[in-house]
Amino acid sequence: MPVQFKIKITKEILERSHECGAYNDVEKIGNNCAIALALKDIFPDVFVTAHHIYLFGIYENNEYSNLRITMPKIALDFIKVFDSLQSIHKVRLHLPEFEFEILIPDEIISQINIDEVKNMIEENSLMATNHFT
C-alpha cells in the first residue's frame, strides 16, 4: 500500500540550499537543492530533477535508479521560482517555507531499512527533548 509522505521546506533548508547552482556546480544541483536536502535524512542518495524525485539516486550501478516519484505541482512551481533566482541566489533566503506531499509506492517502501528509520525517529525525538530541557 503506497504511503503519503510530507516534505517540509523550512527556512533552515532554504538557508542550506540557497547557493545551489549559483557557482556552476550543475552536477551537484540534484543532490543539494532544497527538496533533496529535505529528504536526505531518510534517503541519503536522493536526486531531484525538475520533474522527479529519485529516492535512491540515479547512478547506473544502482538497481533502484529507475524508481522515481513525480513531483506535485506545488513542488514544480517552487523549483521554477528557485531556479529563476540562480543569479541572485541570496533572494532565495526570502522564499516562504512550504510543504507538500508525495505518494511513495510499495516498491520504494520495501527498500527502506525500517531499523534506520526507527533510529532516526528516536534520535530526532531525543534531540527535541534535549533542546527543550
Strands 69-70 and 47-48: unpaired
At 48, phi and psi to the nearest 5? -115, 130
Cell of 39: 529528504
Write the pLDDT tens digit of every residue in 19-68: 999 887 777 899 999 999 999 988 899 999 999 999 888 876 767 667 88
Write the pLDDT tens digit of every residue in 65-91: 678 899 999 999 999 999 999 999 999
User: In the prediction, which pLDDT does 133 show?
Assistant: 43
How many secondary structure helices (H) and strands (E) does the chain include?
6, 5
Q: Would you call 69 exposed, middle or buried from its count of C-beta atoms within 10 A (0-12, 13-18, 19+)?
A: middle
DSSP character for 102?
E
Tell me the percentage of the chain whose pLDDT exceeds 90. 53
> Above 60 in pLDDT, residue 127?
no
- Per-state percent for the chain, helix, strand, coil, to nearest 5: 50, 15, 35
